[in-house]
Structure 1
Amino acid sequence: MNFSRIEASKIVESSAPSLRLQLYVVTSTANSLDAVKQNLPEHRAYLRDLEDRNVLFGAGPLWTDDGQYFEGDGMLIYRATSVEEATAIAQADPMHTSGARTFKVRPWLLNDGSITIRVTLSEPQRSVI
Protein backbone atom coordinates (compact mmCIF):
# COMPACT_ATOMS: atom_id res chain seq x y z
CA MET A 1 0.00 0.00 0.00
CA ASN A 2 1.11 3.50 -0.73
CA PHE A 3 0.16 5.93 2.01
CA SER A 4 0.53 9.67 1.77
CA ARG A 5 1.62 11.83 4.67
CA ILE A 6 0.37 15.27 5.61
CA GLU A 7 2.41 17.49 7.88
CA ALA A 8 0.76 17.94 11.27
CA SER A 9 1.15 21.72 11.00
CA LYS A 10 -1.01 21.73 7.83
CA ILE A 11 -3.82 19.94 9.66
CA VAL A 12 -3.58 22.34 12.60
CA GLU A 13 -3.67 25.33 10.22
CA SER A 14 -6.80 24.01 8.51
CA SER A 15 -8.66 23.36 11.78
CA ALA A 16 -10.95 26.01 13.20
CA PRO A 17 -9.12 27.51 16.23
CA SER A 18 -12.17 27.16 18.46
CA LEU A 19 -12.46 23.44 17.67
CA ARG A 20 -8.95 22.17 18.13
CA LEU A 21 -7.45 20.87 21.33
CA GLN A 22 -3.94 19.41 21.42
CA LEU A 23 -3.86 16.38 23.68
CA TYR A 24 -1.47 13.47 24.15
CA VAL A 25 -2.55 9.83 24.02
CA VAL A 26 -0.55 7.29 26.00
CA THR A 27 -0.98 3.64 25.15
CA SER A 28 0.21 1.57 28.06
CA THR A 29 1.10 -2.09 27.43
CA ALA A 30 1.26 -4.63 30.25
CA ASN A 31 4.46 -6.56 30.87
CA SER A 32 2.81 -8.64 33.59
CA LEU A 33 -0.83 -8.75 34.65
CA ASP A 34 0.24 -9.62 38.21
CA ALA A 35 2.48 -6.53 38.32
CA VAL A 36 -0.38 -4.41 36.96
CA LYS A 37 -2.67 -5.66 39.75
CA GLN A 38 0.01 -4.94 42.39
CA ASN A 39 0.53 -1.36 41.20
CA LEU A 40 -3.12 -0.50 40.66
CA PRO A 41 -3.69 1.38 43.97
CA GLU A 42 -0.66 3.66 43.43
CA HIS A 43 -1.57 4.11 39.76
CA ARG A 44 -5.15 5.13 40.64
CA ALA A 45 -3.86 7.61 43.26
CA TYR A 46 -1.54 9.10 40.63
CA LEU A 47 -4.44 9.45 38.19
CA ARG A 48 -6.60 11.13 40.85
CA ASP A 49 -3.81 13.66 41.39
CA LEU A 50 -3.63 14.30 37.62
CA GLU A 51 -7.42 14.77 37.60
CA ASP A 52 -7.20 17.25 40.47
CA ARG A 53 -4.56 19.23 38.56
CA ASN A 54 -6.65 19.11 35.34
CA VAL A 55 -3.89 17.21 33.52
CA LEU A 56 -5.81 13.99 32.92
CA PHE A 57 -8.41 14.20 30.16
CA GLY A 58 -9.36 10.53 30.42
CA ALA A 59 -7.97 7.10 31.20
CA GLY A 60 -9.09 3.52 31.33
CA PRO A 61 -8.43 -0.12 30.56
CA LEU A 62 -8.41 -1.61 27.08
CA TRP A 63 -10.32 -4.85 26.57
CA THR A 64 -9.35 -7.65 24.26
CA ASP A 65 -10.69 -7.31 20.72
CA ASP A 66 -13.74 -9.40 21.57
CA GLY A 67 -14.53 -7.11 24.53
CA GLN A 68 -14.48 -9.99 27.01
CA TYR A 69 -11.17 -9.73 28.89
CA PHE A 70 -8.62 -7.36 30.41
CA GLU A 71 -4.98 -8.26 29.84
CA GLY A 72 -3.45 -5.27 31.63
CA ASP A 73 -3.29 -2.68 28.84
CA GLY A 74 -4.68 0.83 29.13
CA MET A 75 -4.97 4.22 27.49
CA LEU A 76 -4.51 7.65 29.04
CA ILE A 77 -5.06 11.08 27.53
CA TYR A 78 -3.17 14.05 28.97
CA ARG A 79 -3.41 17.79 28.65
CA ALA A 80 0.21 18.84 28.19
CA THR A 81 2.20 21.49 26.36
CA SER A 82 4.49 19.10 24.47
CA VAL A 83 5.35 15.47 23.81
CA GLU A 84 8.22 15.89 26.25
CA GLU A 85 5.91 17.04 29.04
CA ALA A 86 3.44 14.22 28.31
CA THR A 87 6.31 11.73 28.35
CA ALA A 88 7.47 13.03 31.73
CA ILE A 89 3.94 12.65 33.10
CA ALA A 90 3.75 9.07 31.81
CA GLN A 91 7.22 8.23 33.14
CA ALA A 92 6.12 9.27 36.65
CA ASP A 93 3.11 6.92 36.61
CA PRO A 94 3.66 4.06 39.10
CA MET A 95 2.60 1.56 36.42
CA HIS A 96 5.56 2.68 34.34
CA THR A 97 8.12 3.35 37.07
CA SER A 98 7.50 -0.16 38.43
CA GLY A 99 7.95 -1.80 35.03
CA ALA A 100 4.43 -3.25 35.13
CA ARG A 101 3.72 -1.52 31.83
CA THR A 102 5.63 0.16 29.04
CA PHE A 103 4.14 3.10 27.17
CA LYS A 104 4.09 5.11 23.98
CA VAL A 105 3.06 8.79 23.69
CA ARG A 106 1.41 10.22 20.58
CA PRO A 107 0.12 13.75 19.99
CA TRP A 108 -3.60 13.89 19.23
CA LEU A 109 -5.39 16.91 17.83
CA LEU A 110 -8.99 16.76 19.01
CA ASN A 111 -11.03 18.57 16.37
CA ASP A 112 -14.56 17.44 17.09
CA GLY A 113 -16.69 16.61 20.08
CA SER A 114 -18.09 18.32 23.12
CA ILE A 115 -18.07 18.04 26.86
CA THR A 116 -20.75 19.76 28.83
CA ILE A 117 -20.61 18.07 32.23
CA ARG A 118 -17.54 17.05 34.18
CA VAL A 119 -17.80 13.98 36.35
CA THR A 120 -14.64 13.00 38.23
CA LEU A 121 -14.90 9.22 38.10
CA SER A 122 -12.72 8.61 41.13
CA GLU A 123 -14.65 11.09 43.30
CA PRO A 124 -18.33 12.07 43.51
CA GLN A 125 -17.66 15.51 41.98
CA ARG A 126 -19.64 17.07 39.15
CA SER A 127 -19.33 20.45 37.49
CA VAL A 128 -20.49 22.17 34.33
CA ILE A 129 -17.67 23.35 32.07
Structure 2
Amino acid sequence: MSAADPGHPVTPDGEEQSVVFLCLSQLNGADAGELSKHMAEHRQWLAALERQGRLFAAGPLLDDDHRSFGSGVLVVRAASRDEAGHLLDQDPFHVRGLRTYRLHPWRINEGVLRAIVTLSDGTADLT
Protein backbone atom coordinates (compact mmCIF):
# COMPACT_ATOMS: atom_id res chain seq x y z
CA MET A 1 0.00 0.00 0.00
CA SER A 2 1.19 3.49 -0.61
CA ALA A 3 1.98 5.67 2.37
CA ALA A 4 -0.23 8.44 0.99
CA ASP A 5 -3.35 6.30 0.56
CA PRO A 6 -3.64 2.93 2.30
CA GLY A 7 -6.55 1.98 0.01
CA HIS A 8 -4.32 1.97 -3.06
CA PRO A 9 -1.73 -0.83 -3.04
CA VAL A 10 1.37 -0.40 -5.16
CA THR A 11 2.45 -2.83 -7.90
CA PRO A 12 6.04 -4.14 -7.98
CA ASP A 13 6.68 -1.38 -10.56
CA GLY A 14 5.60 1.27 -8.03
CA GLU A 15 2.30 2.02 -9.79
CA GLU A 16 -0.75 2.68 -7.60
CA GLN A 17 -3.73 0.38 -8.08
CA SER A 18 -7.36 1.14 -7.39
CA VAL A 19 -8.72 -1.72 -5.28
CA VAL A 20 -12.26 -2.39 -4.08
CA PHE A 21 -13.51 -5.35 -2.06
CA LEU A 22 -15.77 -8.01 -3.55
CA CYS A 23 -18.06 -9.77 -1.09
CA LEU A 24 -19.75 -13.05 -2.02
CA SER A 25 -22.60 -13.34 0.46
CA GLN A 26 -24.09 -16.84 0.68
CA LEU A 27 -27.06 -18.36 2.46
CA ASN A 28 -26.29 -19.91 5.81
CA GLY A 29 -29.26 -22.26 6.16
CA ALA A 30 -31.90 -19.52 6.04
CA ASP A 31 -34.87 -19.79 3.72
CA ALA A 32 -36.38 -17.09 1.50
CA GLY A 33 -39.05 -16.29 4.09
CA GLU A 34 -36.47 -15.57 6.78
CA LEU A 35 -34.50 -13.34 4.40
CA SER A 36 -37.62 -11.45 3.36
CA LYS A 37 -38.35 -10.54 7.01
CA HIS A 38 -35.11 -8.54 7.08
CA MET A 39 -34.94 -7.35 3.46
CA ALA A 40 -36.12 -3.79 4.18
CA GLU A 41 -33.45 -3.36 6.88
CA HIS A 42 -30.81 -4.87 4.53
CA ARG A 43 -31.79 -2.42 1.78
CA GLN A 44 -31.68 0.52 4.21
CA TRP A 45 -28.17 -0.55 5.23
CA LEU A 46 -27.13 -0.71 1.56
CA ALA A 47 -28.67 2.71 0.87
CA ALA A 48 -26.70 4.20 3.79
CA LEU A 49 -23.44 2.75 2.38
CA GLU A 50 -24.39 4.13 -1.03
CA ARG A 51 -24.97 7.64 0.39
CA GLN A 52 -21.58 7.44 2.11
CA GLY A 53 -19.92 6.56 -1.21
CA ARG A 54 -18.81 3.20 0.22
CA LEU A 55 -20.99 0.97 -2.00
CA PHE A 56 -19.83 0.51 -5.59
CA ALA A 57 -22.38 -2.17 -6.56
CA ALA A 58 -24.67 -4.75 -4.98
CA GLY A 59 -27.34 -7.20 -6.00
CA PRO A 60 -28.61 -10.75 -5.84
CA LEU A 61 -27.11 -13.67 -7.71
CA LEU A 62 -29.60 -15.34 -10.03
CA ASP A 63 -30.24 -18.89 -11.16
CA ASP A 64 -30.48 -19.90 -14.83
CA ASP A 65 -34.11 -18.69 -14.89
CA HIS A 66 -33.01 -15.27 -13.60
CA ARG A 67 -34.56 -15.77 -10.16
CA SER A 68 -32.80 -14.87 -6.94
CA PHE A 69 -31.86 -17.83 -4.77
CA GLY A 70 -30.73 -15.92 -1.69
CA SER A 71 -27.05 -15.22 -2.29
CA GLY A 72 -25.63 -11.90 -3.39
CA VAL A 73 -22.61 -9.83 -4.35
CA LEU A 74 -21.51 -6.54 -2.83
CA VAL A 75 -18.57 -4.42 -3.92
CA VAL A 76 -17.44 -1.90 -1.32
CA ARG A 77 -14.83 0.83 -1.19
CA ALA A 78 -12.59 0.63 1.87
CA ALA A 79 -9.01 1.48 2.81
CA SER A 80 -8.25 -2.10 3.87
CA ARG A 81 -9.61 -5.62 4.03
CA ASP A 82 -10.23 -5.14 7.77
CA GLU A 83 -12.25 -1.99 7.13
CA ALA A 84 -14.27 -3.75 4.41
CA GLY A 85 -14.92 -6.67 6.78
CA HIS A 86 -16.08 -4.27 9.49
CA LEU A 87 -18.58 -2.71 7.03
CA LEU A 88 -19.88 -6.09 5.88
CA ASP A 89 -20.20 -7.40 9.43
CA GLN A 90 -22.91 -4.74 9.87
CA ASP A 91 -25.14 -6.15 7.10
CA PRO A 92 -28.37 -7.19 8.86
CA PHE A 93 -28.21 -10.56 7.07
CA HIS A 94 -24.69 -11.17 8.40
CA VAL A 95 -25.50 -9.86 11.89
CA ARG A 96 -28.37 -12.38 12.16
CA GLY A 97 -26.34 -15.26 10.72
CA LEU A 98 -28.67 -15.61 7.72
CA ARG A 99 -25.74 -15.27 5.34
CA THR A 100 -22.01 -15.74 5.58
CA TYR A 101 -19.53 -14.05 3.27
CA ARG A 102 -16.17 -14.38 1.60
CA LEU A 103 -14.24 -11.18 1.01
CA HIS A 104 -11.76 -10.64 -1.83
CA PRO A 105 -9.68 -7.57 -2.70
CA TRP A 106 -10.44 -6.82 -6.36
CA ARG A 107 -8.56 -4.65 -8.79
CA ILE A 108 -10.81 -3.64 -11.67
CA ASN A 109 -8.72 -3.51 -14.84
CA GLU A 110 -11.28 -3.22 -17.61
CA GLY A 111 -14.85 -2.21 -18.17
CA VAL A 112 -17.08 0.63 -19.27
CA LEU A 113 -19.26 2.82 -17.13
CA ARG A 114 -21.30 5.43 -18.96
CA ALA A 115 -23.29 8.19 -17.34
CA ILE A 116 -25.59 10.56 -19.18
CA VAL A 117 -26.68 13.62 -17.22
CA THR A 118 -29.13 16.00 -18.88
CA LEU A 119 -28.82 19.32 -17.13
CA SER A 120 -31.92 20.92 -18.63
CA ASP A 121 -34.34 18.43 -17.06
CA GLY A 122 -32.19 17.01 -14.25
CA THR A 123 -32.33 13.42 -15.48
CA ALA A 124 -29.53 10.89 -15.34
CA ASP A 125 -28.97 7.53 -16.95
CA LEU A 126 -26.25 4.98 -16.31
CA THR A 127 -25.55 2.35 -18.94
TM-score normalised by structure 2 residue count = 0.75
The separation in 2 between residues aligned to 1:118 and 1:105, in whole angstroms, is: 32
SS in 2 for 1:103: strand
Unmatched 5+ stretches in structure 1: 1-8, 120-124
Match of 2:50 in 1: 51
Higher fraction of helix: 1
Deviation of the 1:14 alpha carbon: 5.9
Unmatched 5+ stretches in structure 2: 1-8, 118-122
Match of 1:24 in 2: 21
Q: 1:67 to 1:16 in 2, by over 3 A?
A: farther
The separation in 2 between residues aligned to 1:111 and 1:76, in whole angstroms, is: 18
CA contact (8 A) 1:36 1:101 kept: no
Deviation of the 1:116 alpha carbon: 3.7
Q: Which residue identity lines up with residue 115 of structure 1 in the other structure?
A: L
The separation in 1 between residues aligned to 2:70 and 2:15, in whole angstroms, is: 37
Deviation of the 1:67 alpha carbon: 3.5
Match of 1:102 in 2: 100
Q: 1:57 to 1:39 in 2, by over 3 A?
A: same
Q: 1:15 to 1:110 in 2, by over 3 A?
A: farther
Q: Which residue identity lines up with residue 100 of structure 1 in the other structure?
A: L
| Matches for 1:62-73 after TM superposition, within 5 Å | 62-64=61-63, 66-73=64-71
Match of 2:3 in 1: none
The separation in 1 between residues aligned to 2:90 and 2:99, in whole angstroms, is: 12
Match of 1:38 in 2: 37
TM-score normalised by structure 1 residue count = 0.74
Identity among equivalent positions (%) equals 31
